[in-house]
Structure 1
Amino acid sequence: MQLIDYDLLRSAQLEIRVLTLCPLKVTASEDDITSSTSATRIKCILHTVSLHANPSYIALSYTWGEPTPCKTIQVNGKAVAVRANLEAALLHIREENRPVALWVDAICIDQSSNEEKSEQVQIMRDIYAKSEYVLVWLGVAAQDSDTAMKVLKETGELAIKARIFDLRGKDLENLSNPEGDDRLNSIKTSLDACAQAADLTPFHTSLNDFSEREYWTRTWIVQEVSVARDVMLMCGSMKLPFETFAAASNFCGFTRLRLAENMTIAQWMDPIRGPLIKAAMARAPSAAPNIIIGIRRRYQRETGNPESFFGLLKRSCFDRGAIHPLKATDSRDKIYGLLGLDPFPLQLGILPDYYKSTKETYITTTRALIVSGKINILAWSQQHKVIKGLPTWVPDFSSPLRDPCGENDRIGSEEAIFCASGQQAASILSHENENVMSIRGVLIDTIDSMGSPWRTSDSNELFNYEEATRLFDEIEDFCKLSEKCGSTLTQDKEKWPEAIWRIPCADQEGKSSGRVRASSAVHSAYLELKLPDAKFKHASLDRRRYQRVMMSLYDRRPFISTEGFVGLVPAHSQQGDLICIIIGANFPFILRKTTNEQYELVGEAYVYGTMDGEGLKLGKDVEVLNLC
């Protein structure tokens, strides 16, 4: 195998390399066609062009795949090793009689040069945006994948005609009762007719299969697909326009919603139909394609309101059940793969730099976001970290993150549920050590005692009823103890009785628009859940919402402080840890003092009676706190 002789690219001229894929006839005529390996060999010519010249090329979007086994292609007459998935893509893209101009990152960028990678990544948005179109390679054909592509094409086209793309914002929430809204009622009627015409069983199966392909797990696809003028999906030799696929995917959400709305108790309990319907409802397709679809739609249609880098980072790093974090072969690309979509990248001051380690990249990114006002990112720094040596205040973006208990979990939302530091802006101070973050905050109390960690069961049950009962009891005991000691919490007599049912759900409930502050309806859900036979009874909508919020709070435990505050803290908290209101943050944090007068960040917390700025009215001093 040989290395490609790369000419230097002039970044000031926006130079890139384009790979010309030679047609099959040229390849076959030059090879000894008696050799099966040489007869199928890929021949390519690599040359340099400037984006200023508006060159014509197709940008390939694909997964790199495993590094072994390697395959061989020819580039400028030399045998070059490539990964198997790329060779498969080139074999399927190659045409019979005419060359195809491609941009392929693995070949068109000198992967051995950190300097070139850093420069090319900075113009990656332009590379994909200026391409003729982006070709998404989903992989080789699998069993029934050709049929699946046809089903998705037919269903997607029907959904487009039925005006699936006319649904906006919260329309799905209002579909069950569109009376008085002529526009929404008309769309619902059209989509219902479409659902009657479509064969939904193979449709859902096809969408499930395609949504689970490895391609949808890549961080880079967010940018590659979003900025493209046009996108074409390719699986084996079959192609499908991305917009048709998007329509089919959106239509899936509509049909599942309508199925749930129209379900009767008799149908659910039917011994024959019931299991089939439950299976269809349970096996929802991976939400990853919908995330990409939503980001592309916003980028293409709402150019005046593009999503921020912080919002994109939140979408790509959190594990929300059906929505899994996106992956990157190089952990630094969890950051660099999204930077190009930020509308104001220079304001952040984060530039792709492959000379930096992953640790340095994550520290730089977190600091830049905090300085820009996103101090709540501190709640993303959680216990389980893969990248060694990260300061406790820096999230490990390479690991699945969980939603902080005080953040709205609605996709794309940056709205906060609480305002523990009132309306005060964050106060960040410089520090000579890049591993230290200096902030201002108020240490309001110390953890005195804790209950058991709230965790999922070892069985297949999603909700752990036994553990929930113990959690309720421990919280109630702590609240009674707090009342006896005459704590700050008990001074507001009206709020006290609500503590026992607000604390288990961190004072929030789930809506289709995301988590919001808990309403009085949550009290009845709590009482319903406390019934001895709740596990075996049909759950009301309010109770199901209460349980979903509780499940999002796994790996936390109840506590009581020395002054009687009660709430939920990270499971790895310790007696003696400090409760802190960080100026500018929306929720309290737990800190642990080290021997050198610095503090480790343990995690964010829910502390009843401090979530609306009350903690800053206790007469305690604002201090400079050095997080390490």
Structure 2
Amino acid sequence: MAPYQYVPLDANKNQIRILSLLPGSHEDPIRISISQISFDPPERNDQETFLSDERFREIQDKLPETWSAYRTIEGRPIFGCEPDGQPVHISWQPPESASEGAFDEFMNIAEREEFEPAFEAVSYTWGALDTTLAIEVVDTLSPTTTAGTLDVGPNLFEIIHHLRLPEDARTLWIDAICINQQDLVERSKQIKNMRDIYAYARRVIVWLGPSSEDSTLALRTLEHVGKQIEFTICDTFMPAPDCTETQWWDYEERLPLASGALEAVLNLIQRPYFERLWVKQEIQFSSEASIMQCGDMAIRWYHMRRGLIRLPREMTALPRLNSVSSWTKIRIADRTAHRLKMGDIETLFDIAAECKCVDPRDRIFAILGLLPASLAQRIHPDYQSPVEQVYLQAFLTILDFTRRFSRIGCVGGKAGMRNRPSWVRDFTQSYIDNYWLQDGNLASGHSSSHTSFVAPNQLHMQGVYHGEITAVSSPLTGSATANYLAFCELVSVSLPNKTKNECLDIYTWVMTEGQLHERWPELVVMPPSGEAKAIVQQMCDGKEPDVPDVYREWFSETLMDQQQRGIIFVTSTGCIGCASPTVRPGDKVSIPLGSREPILLRPKTSDNAVQHHQVVGISYIHGLMEGQAILGPISVPWRMVIETITPVTIEFRNSQTGEMTREDPRLDPLPHDSRWVKIEKKDETRSPYAIQHYKHLDTGQVLTSDPRLLPEALRARGVNVETFILV
């Protein structure tokens, strides 16, 4: 038969295609029809499942004293009675004592409109396309008339076989069929519809692949665990209202699962589906009726996502989890289940870099639906534009939107693509394969970036210079003993006055990147520095470290991971840090305004003798991660801490008085004549940390940073703010 010829979509009607999978037995040839419909969903609303903070406080005030209101990860309202801080009663309905109609607004907020005609959207892995199989396309009005054939990959061919019903037609949306993949202009335009297609499908069918020996056990385990717990948008667990296991919500509780259950789950989440980039957007916007199907067995996505979030804690005991690769698979599955559609931008681009897609441009385009609407509308998908240009324009757009020089830019490491400025991140490389940092840093304080782009490849960046690299160690390995000996040798030569105890203390902070209880006081899963030092000392002595269960995940994800990458270095200012193995003596330490980490730069003299710099990458430098290079050290008794409320908040704690404040104690109060005032405003940039907004009373300008950290204000303090030319 002749190949099927697509009818162009009418852009004026914002058309999409849907297909009708005609009924048949397993042996019958696959037959479909393709039709075009107008697709006009409601205008996108990033706050679709949120009330304002003020309105939510009003909801809380209407509840009895021992009751609280929450929202599940999907935005569904849920109520809890917690007289002693422990959930006693969890309900989908407000308490009977509540006034009638008092919670109507809250109860209706997560409802979505139904779209007609109803269709199901399929989320799957394309798989290998080196061989294809033909399916027959028939005329929509005359099913006995053939319109041609379409070639599809073996994986999609198998999916269609499983989804076909014996007696009834099934209306589906499948990207490989409903978008003309040969038409680059159409593909670019249809990207804008992807989010809403999955959001307004009656349900999403996730195809995980054919069944295996333990896939049923894995699905049953995830389903059972998921039925016991609820998970809120504040990243907290609680018992499900209809649970049978009343303590499984407690993250510190070990779950009595069937033998082999965790191994089965680990095998399931290592399937290719979870590594695919496009599925992150597809499943995030799906309805609660959506299913995960493996062979002929299916469970609700609602239950599976809760199981995926709860079980990583249990998996720390599996012997197979000694490699970074295994933890990466667990992290990818865990992130797939979390609430990415309101997630911070940095995390979304980390996911884009670590997941798989066919076209490298998709590392930008595949997450557009997850980005803030005001940012996504500035990025225009174009499959005809060179990859390097797509990445450069995306970075400049994000930099202008967030005013943060963050790890969305170059994270350092491998050389990457040609024709790409060093300051633009290569999204074809997973950040896992390069040097990256854990969260919890504030190297430039609450400042914003001040940059300008000079075509074709220069970025002029304002920041502070803080010495240069004077000595580096050999690359770190999997041997803690060898790493520590290399560290001690480096320090003994470069900083001979450091005592043994000082060395161990600095080494612990550097190797854990500050992921310690002193910095994160609310997280019991992180040890205090004293206990962490004891674990590190045992490792350095070649002993099997005695790691309590509560710290096992921290140990695997932080300490074990860090010691297998990077190098240790010493700076001309006497600081010690860790960075990519590509770092070498002579590289400069810069603290760009708007950056949470120090950025290492390599001087490069241009033809006109103006010094340019290449970005080497980000770094962890002990003593510079809390704004010390700009504002000086934090005086005792103050300490910077991170509060894990939503959003995560960086605060300063007075150890003597217990006072907590977001105001940096190193900054003087705003002068009365400064004309800057604090205002309450929703953070549209989705910063990983809570942002205080400021407004200028005369100009109306609004800042997402502290005006006392503007370049001119810093220069008035005597801070030498320079301009670095990055190429």
**TM-score above 0.5, yes or no:** yes
Instruction: Specify the code of the residue in structure 2 equivalent to 1:58.
Output: E
Whether contact under 8 Å (2:132, 2:151) holds in the other structure is yes
Match in the other structure for 2:86: none
Match in the other structure for 1:471: 487
1:159 aligns with 2:229: no
- 1:189 offset after TM fit, Å? 9.0
1:351 aligns with 2:380: yes
Match in the other structure for 1:70: 132
1:453 aligns with 2:519: no
Whether contact under 8 Å (1:444, 1:620) holds in the other structure is no
Match in the other structure for 1:235: 294
Match in the other structure for 1:128: 198
Taking a change above 3 Å as real, the CA distance of residues 546 and 64 of structure 1, as seen in their structure-2 partners, is closer
Q: Deviations over 1:280-316 (max 9, x none)?
A: 9998883433322223xx65xxxxxx22443322344
Tell me, in whole angstroms, the C-alpha distance in 1 between the residues paired with 2:568 and 2:322: 34
Match in the other structure for 2:185: 115
- 1:240 offset after TM fit, Å? 2.5
2:348 to 288, 294, 312: 312
Taking a change above 3 Å as real, the CA distance of residues 58 and 377 of structure 1, as seen in their structure-2 partners, is same
Taking a change above 3 Å as real, the CA distance of residues 156 and 446 of structure 1, as seen in their structure-2 partners, is closer
- 1:527 offset after TM fit, Å? 4.3
Instruction: Specify the code of the residue in structure 1 equivalent to 2:447.
Output: Q
Match in the other structure for 1:625: 724
Tell me, in whole angstroms, the C-alpha distance in 1 between the residues paired with 2:309 and 2:133: 38
Match in the other structure for 1:271: none
Per the alignment, in what secondary structure is the counterpart of residue 134 of structure 1?
A: strand
Match in the other structure for 2:274: 216
Per the alignment, in what secondary structure is the counterpart of residue 377 of structure 1?
A: coil
Tell me, in whole angstroms, the C-alpha distance in 1 between the residues paired with 2:516 and 2:581: 22
Whether contact under 8 Å (1:41, 1:73) holds in the other structure is yes
Q: Deviations over 1:314-360 (max 9, x none)?
A: 3443xxxxxxx211111111211111122324466212221222211
Taking a change above 3 Å as real, the CA distance of residues 472 and 246 of structure 1, as seen in their structure-2 partners, is same
Whether contact under 8 Å (2:451, 2:462) holds in the other structure is yes
Match in the other structure for 1:342: 371
Taking a change above 3 Å as real, the CA distance of residues 69 and 97 of structure 1, as seen in their structure-2 partners, is same
Whether contact under 8 Å (1:471, 1:504) holds in the other structure is no
Tell me, in whole angstroms, the C-alpha distance in 2 between the residues paired with 1:207 and 1:521: 32
1:105 aligns with 2:112: no
1:386-535 alignment to 2 at 5 Å? Answer: 386-402=416-432, 407-409=437-439, 417-433=440-456, 435-456=457-478, 463-480=479-496, 499=506, 501-509=508-516, 519-530=529-540, 532=541, 534-535=542-543
Per the alignment, in what secondary structure is the counterpart of residue 568 of structure 1?
A: strand
Larger deviation: 247-256 or 467-476?
A: 247-256
Taking a change above 3 Å as real, the CA distance of residues 293 and 388 of structure 1, as seen in their structure-2 partners, is same
2:208 to 131, 138, 141: 138
Unaligned residue ranges in structure 2 (runs of 5+): 41-114, 139-145, 633-717
Instruction: Specify the code of the residue in structure 1 equivalent to 2:195.
Output: R
Taking a change above 3 Å as real, the CA distance of residues 228 and 542 of structure 1, as seen in their structure-2 partners, is closer
Match in the other structure for 1:573: 583
Report the TM-score, using the length of structure 2 for normalisation: 0.66
Whether contact under 8 Å (1:16, 1:49) holds in the other structure is yes
Match in the other structure for 1:269: none
Taking a change above 3 Å as real, the CA distance of residues 141 and 386 of structure 1, as seen in their structure-2 partners, is farther
1:374 aligns with 2:434: no
1:43 aligns with 2:142: no
Tell me, in whole angstroms, the C-alpha distance in 2 between the residues paired with 1:247 and 1:610: 38
Tell me, in whole angstroms, the C-alpha distance in 2 between the residues paired with 1:613 and 1:193: 38
Whether contact under 8 Å (1:378, 1:393) holds in the other structure is no
CA RMSD of aligned residues (A): 3.9
Whether contact under 8 Å (1:472, 1:504) holds in the other structure is no
Instruction: Specify the code of the residue in structure 2 equivalent to 1:466.
Output: A
Taking a change above 3 Å as real, the CA distance of residues 610 and 338 of structure 1, as seen in their structure-2 partners, is same
Whether contact under 8 Å (1:379, 1:404) holds in the other structure is no
- 1:418 offset after TM fit, Å? 2.8
Match in the other structure for 2:20: 20
Q: Deviations over 1:423-448 (max 9, x none)?
A: 33211123232x22221122232222
Match in the other structure for 1:487: none
- 1:169 offset after TM fit, Å? 5.5
Whether contact under 8 Å (1:504, 1:550) holds in the other structure is no
- 1:83 offset after TM fit, Å? 0.9
Whether contact under 8 Å (2:14, 2:39) holds in the other structure is yes
Whether contact under 8 Å (1:455, 1:555) holds in the other structure is yes
Report the TM-score, using the length of structure 1 for normalisation: 0.76
Per the alignment, in what secondary structure is the counterpart of residue 449 of structure 1?
A: strand
1:80 aligns with 2:156: no
Match in the other structure for 1:562: 572
Per the alignment, in what secondary structure is the counterpart of residue 201 of structure 1?
A: coil
Tell me, in whole angstroms, the C-alpha distance in 2 between the residues paired with 1:184 and 1:520: 40
Taking a change above 3 Å as real, the CA distance of residues 95 and 615 of structure 1, as seen in their structure-2 partners, is same
Taking a change above 3 Å as real, the CA distance of residues 166 and 338 of structure 1, as seen in their structure-2 partners, is closer
Instruction: Specify the code of the residue in structure 2 equivalent to 1:374.
Output: R
Whether contact under 8 Å (1:348, 1:369) holds in the other structure is no
Match in the other structure for 1:290: 334
Match in the other structure for 2:602: 592
- 1:219 offset after TM fit, Å? 0.6
Taking a change above 3 Å as real, the CA distance of residues 189 and 382 of structure 1, as seen in their structure-2 partners, is closer
Tell me, in whole angstroms, the C-alpha distance in 2 between the residues paired with 1:601 and 1:520: 35
Whether contact under 8 Å (2:412, 2:435) holds in the other structure is no
Per the alignment, in what secondary structure is the counterpart of residue 466 of structure 1?
A: helix
Instruction: Specify the code of the residue in structure 2 equivalent to 1:605.
Output: S
Whether contact under 8 Å (1:233, 1:239) holds in the other structure is yes
Instruction: Specify the code of the residue in structure 2 equivalent to 1:566.
Output: I
1:355-366 alignment to 2 at 5 Å? Answer: 355-366=384-395
Taking a change above 3 Å as real, the CA distance of residues 567 and 171 of structure 1, as seen in their structure-2 partners, is same
Per the alignment, in what secondary structure is the counterpart of residue 559 of structure 2?
A: helix
Unaligned residue ranges in structure 1 (runs of 5+): 29-38, 176-182, 261-276, 300-305, 318-324, 410-416, 457-462, 484-493
Tell me, in whole angstroms, the C-alpha distance in 2 between the residues paired with 1:81 and 1:244: 35
Instruction: Specify the code of the residue in structure 2 equivalent to 1:509.
Output: L
Instruction: Specify the code of the residue in structure 2 equivalent to 1:375.
Output: F
Per the alignment, in what secondary structure is the counterpart of residue 310 of structure 1?
A: helix
2:616 to 602, 607, 611: 602
Instruction: Specify the code of the residue in structure 2 equivalent to 1:364.
Output: Q
Q: Deviations over 1:149-188 (max 9, x none)?
A: 3x45544554355x3226886657x99xxxxxxx999434
Per the alignment, in what secondary structure is the counterpart of residue 442 of structure 2?
A: coil
Taking a change above 3 Å as real, the CA distance of residues 309 and 503 of structure 1, as seen in their structure-2 partners, is closer
Taking a change above 3 Å as real, the CA distance of residues 152 and 455 of structure 1, as seen in their structure-2 partners, is closer
Taking a change above 3 Å as real, the CA distance of residues 614 and 11 of structure 1, as seen in their structure-2 partners, is same
- 1:580 offset after TM fit, Å? 1.3
- 1:556 offset after TM fit, Å? 2.6
Tell me, in whole angstroms, the C-alpha distance in 2 between the residues paired with 1:192 and 1:602: 40
1:5 aligns with 2:5: yes
Larger deviation: 214-223 or 603-612?
A: 603-612
Match in the other structure for 2:629: 615
Instruction: Specify the code of the residue in structure 2 equivalent to 1:222.
Output: K
